[in-house]
Amino acid sequence: MKVLVATEKPFAAVAVNGIREVIENAGYELVLLEKYSSKQDLLDAVKAADGLIIRSDKVDAQVFDAAKNLKIVVRAGAGYDNVDLAAATVHGVCVENTPGQNSNAVAELVFGMAIMAVRNMYNGTSGSELKGKSLGIHAFGQVGRNVARIAKGFGMSVSALDPYCPDEVIAEAGVTPIHSVEDLYKNNQVVSLHIPATDETRNSVGYDLITLMPKNGVLINTARKEVIDEEGLRKALSERSDLKYVADIRPDIANELEEEFAGRVFFTPKKMGAQTSEANINAGIAAANQVVAFLRDGIDRFRVNR
Ligand code: 3PG
């Protein structure tokens, strides 16, 4: 059996070694396709694969059509909006993610970005501190929970909105549950986005919510660019010169935003949240174990398609 690791943005070498060990110990062959530049490379490589490990790599119907032997795809990470689940199901392929394995890395980056924003992008002027500020966490999943844990160390007051998470779970973490999205934005100086990109959330954070933020509000997006209504964001930033937006993935209109709002926006050139060797090891090895468990024993505990 062949397991293809196809990563346009590669794992750290130490993680690849760990993945290799798991795959080869199971008696399977590891095939590595890193930093590929064309979709054709993926289409060619996937032809002989029984299992596939990816990151944000796009796996659409064309990939499933080409992958005649494919039985399982594991997205080494949390968000699986890059995989066409319906096409996977039509082809009888199991799709899984590795929830929680890279969440601390993303949560730490939230604070890297928050500090950068409140210190005025390190431009030499006096900024402000996170201590004493209010933080609103938009979705209390694995990343949101790590963000809450770290925020307490900074002395922030933390609240969270998550209609899919019971209030008790939020409260047990020492976080105040919030029940309306308007309140989340209205009541918090810093808002951190952790919603997945779904039909429900795409373009859902725009002008109306962003302009509810208090003076000097900072919006941090380490989730997905798709959840932002970019023209709404642009309008909000132009009307409110006190607001800042920092994101771990360039918006489609990044150039315009950088030009119009210099010093108030910052974007990583490539998604960096999960780019630590620890997260690569955790998510990569979990993915390898999940591929083996499925191919060998039919275990599909982390399946996301039915
Ligand atoms: C995730 O959904 O797990 C994160 O966005 C990380 O994505 P990446 O593996 O492409 O860095």
Query: Confidence class of residue 162 from pLDDT cuts 50, 70 and 90?
Result: very high
Q: Is 194 in the pocket of ligand 1 (CB under 6 A)?
A: no
Q: Is 271 in the pocket of ligand 1 (CB under 6 A)?
A: yes
> How confident is the model over 168-188, as a mean pLDDT?
98
The preferred substitution site among 271, 278, 282, 285 for testing ligand 1, maximizing ligand atoms within 8 Å of CB, is: 271
Q: Which residues pair with 135 in a beta bridge?
A: 158, 190
The preferred substitution site among 7, 34, 56 for testing ligand 1, maximizing ligand atoms within 8 Å of CB, is: 56
Query: Confidence class of residue 103 from pLDDT cuts 50, 70 and 90?
Result: very high
What percent of the chain is predicted at pLDDT more than 70? 100
At 52, give phi and psi (nearest 5°): -135, 130
Neighbours of 123 (CB within 10 A): 9
Q: Is 51 in the pocket of ligand 1 (CB under 6 A)?
A: no
Side chain identity at residue 74, one-letter code: V
Query: Distances from the Cα of 229 to the Cαs of 3, 135, 201, 247, 286, in angstroms?
Result: 38, 21, 10, 13, 34
Task: Tokens for 231, please give them.
Answer: 């023209």
Q: Whose CA is nearest to atom 11 of ligand 1?
A: 274
Q: Is 56 in the pocket of ligand 1 (CB under 6 A)?
A: yes
CA–CA gap between residue 78 and residue 247 (Å, rounded):
17
Which ligand 1 atom sits closest to the C-alpha of 248? Answer: 5
> How confident is the model over 80-86, as a mean pLDDT?
98
**Positive or negative torsion for Cα 64, 42, 22, 10:** negative
* CA 38 / ligand 1 centre spacing (Å): 20
Q: Is 150 helix (H, G, I), strand (E, B) or coil?
A: helix
Query: Confidence class of residue 304 from pLDDT cuts 50, 70 and 90?
Result: very high
> How confident is the model over 7-27, as a mean pLDDT?
98
Query: CA 84, 89, 93: angle at the middle one, nearest 5?
Result: 95
201-237 confidence digits (pLDDT tens): 999 999 999 999 999 999 999 999 999 999 999 999 9
pLDDT of residue 125: 98
Query: Distances from the Cα of 215 to the Cαs of 190, 212, 225, 266, in angstroms?
Result: 10, 9, 24, 19
Which ligand 1 atom sits closest to the C-alpha of 9? Answer: 10
27-40 confidence digits (pLDDT tens): 999 999 999 999 99
Owner of token pair 């590929």 = 36
> How confident is the model over 151-164, as a mean pLDDT?
98
Query: CA 25, 26, 28: angle at the middle one, nearest 5?
Result: 100
CA–CA gap between residue 30 and residue 7 (Å, rounded):
13
Query: Confidence class of residue 164 from pLDDT cuts 50, 70 and 90?
Result: very high
Q: What is the pTM of this model?
A: 0.97
Q: What is the DSSP letter of 205?
A: B
Q: Is 97 in the pocket of ligand 1 (CB under 6 A)?
A: no
